[in-house]
Amino acid sequence: MIDVYAGAIILWPLNRIPLGWHLCDGSLLNINEYQLLYVLLGKKYGGDGVTNFALPDLRGRVPIGSGQGPNLTPRVLAQTGGQGAHTLTLAEMPAHIHVATTQGVANVKAVLNVSSANASQTAATANATLATAGSGSGRSFNPVLKYGNSAPTVILNSKSVAISGDYTNSGTGGGGSHNNVQPSFALNFIICTNGLYPDFNQ
């Protein structure tokens, strides 16, 4: 392959790399052996810049244009980014609510304690109980009829009862990461290590 600028990167469909080219795999090259390529790349992609320098590492990566397109994030040359898999954080989840509803009938029963003894006071006091109503006291007590075996026919005024409690939704989901890779086709990126020195625009 001739008339190719040193540092040029192309796609290559084979595992065997031609002479004068190298796989873009982040390898460290000796500066003395690849002086022309080092002059072009420097240590932009890694290396100590004294005895070695690194090639771009495009394994498993998709190259994008540097700079800033309209309404896009700015990218500088040799910048890396992105993730093969990503786990959503709480801040990344869409705003949403969980509505919990329940249906059914709640039977509320109240126990009314009464006494079979004769009533002994005319006004209700703390801890007083219902007792046999009547007049008089002792042996002169005259009970009043107030109980029967007939079915109830009158509904007394009722009082609303508020029933509250905690309702917990059952959890779901595994909390794992999701694949974040676009449909792809794997090929090799190779870089020319022994080519022409390019003439640059002023």
d(CA 133, CA 114): 11
Cβ–Cβ < 8 Å for 113, 131: no
pLDDT of 32 higher than 90: yes
Q: Would you say residue 146 has pLDDT above 80?
A: no
Q: What secondary structure does DSSP assign to 118-174, as a single string?
A: EP--SS--TT--EEE-EES-GGG-EE-----SSPP--PPP-----------PPP---
The matching CATH number, chosen from 3.40.50, 1.10.3470, 3.90.1340, 1.10.238, for 9-61+187-192 is 3.90.1340
Domain boundaries, the chain: 9-61+187-192
What is the rounded CA–CA span in Å between residue 140 and residue 115?
A: 19
> CB neighbours of 31 closer than 8 A, spacing ≥ 6?
38, 49, 50, 51, 52, 53
pLDDT exceeds 70 at position 34: yes
pTM of the model: 0.65
Could you count the other beta carbons within 10 Å of the beta carbon of residue 6? 20
Span 81-87, average pLDDT? 91
Q: What is the pLDDT of residue 57?
A: 98
